[in-house]
Amino acid sequence: AAWGCDDVRVDMECSSLDDLEAGRLPAFNPLRALTVRRLQHLVEVELKEALGLVPDTSGRLHIASHIADCGPCADGSRLRLTTKTDHHLYKNDKVTFSGLGAGFDDLEELVHTVVEVVAGDCFVVELASGPLSENGSVQGMAFSGMVHAEVNMYKTAPEVVIPSTIVEERLVCVSDESVLEMLKRGVGPIAGDLTLTGPLRLPDAKGFPRAVDAGLTIHGRVAPNGSVRRHYWSLGSDRSSMWQTSSKHGRVQLRPEEVLPGQSLGELEDKLWDLEPVRVGDILVLRRGVAYAELFDDGLADDFISHWWGEPTPDILSTLQRHDADMAAAATAARH
């Protein structure tokens, strides 16, 4: 849906639902805008490079990975697949297959669901066709086959928007229980918000203590089997090349902190919502950033775009182009 921004009132200050229902709203706060051309560059250049997107038969950019190996799980209603390169898939992604070979046409005609991401090159899908015939056999399946997935904002935001908007990034090694307890006490009381309310002295990835400032948010866990932001972490000490922020955004960090060398890394989640999964030995990444729209001086919005993040990104772009929206405020870019 799209609205002219003169008709949209954005509440940034109301403290309760009662305020909203009573109509106690502040004056309209203009939303930061991006040109549609800028959004197009985000998807067709930056996301394409980060995920190695390729055009499908109709020219739409999508994820495509070559299958290296596969096997049935349990009753045969699930397949565990290994890809030759990073697959860039998340749990609940919808995937299709091609080139599996004779006898697997039914699998290629349906859309399947990723139910588990094991590693950057391994995942499990729930087959829409139900259990495989012949007791779950995949003998005869061509390993020259491919798995395909659309890209959407659920992938665009973690893989490109977050790295682009980093102002500060710190790594913390949960070396013992005392560090974990310090983190639990150091975040605020609001559920889902893991932002440090005060400075803490925490160990870096190599275990050396140093000060970590308030305002940083515990974003995720870095691990060899993490599947999120693998392109970003593959850059190693050069990953700050993706940071598009400067001193005017409050950035003071020139280079990223070092991680353990010689490991292919990713993050285990696009965002950590609580500390329950964190264990002693984990490496946490803490970040502070800005909205994507703040990176540019595109002006104020003419249109506010409300969209479903799960919609294929090429469809969002084509909708904006048909609407002839020049300066748009999209939720993905206007918030941080």
What is the per-residue pLDDT across 38-52, written as a single tens digit (0 to 9) for each?
Answer: 888 999 999 999 999
pLDDT digits (tens, 9 = 90+) for 222-260: 999 999 999 999 999 999 999 999 999 999 899 999 887
Angle at 48 between CA 42 and CA 49, to 5 degrees: 100
Q: What are phi and psi of 118, to 5 degrees?
A: -85, -40
CB 270 within 8 A of CB 309: no
What is the average pLDDT score of the chain?
A: 84
Which residue matches tokens 């050069």? 238
pLDDT at 164: 96
pLDDT at 303: 67
pTM: 0.85
pLDDT digits (tens, 9 = 90+) for 76-116: 889 999 999 999 999 999 999 999 887 788 889 999 999 99
Burial of 16 (0-12, 13-18, 19+ CB in 10 A): exposed
Residue 11's pLDDT band (cuts 50, 70, 90): very low
pLDDT digits (tens, 9 = 90+) for 123-134: 999 999 888 765
> What is d(CA 283, CA 149) in angstroms, rounded to the nearest whole number?
30
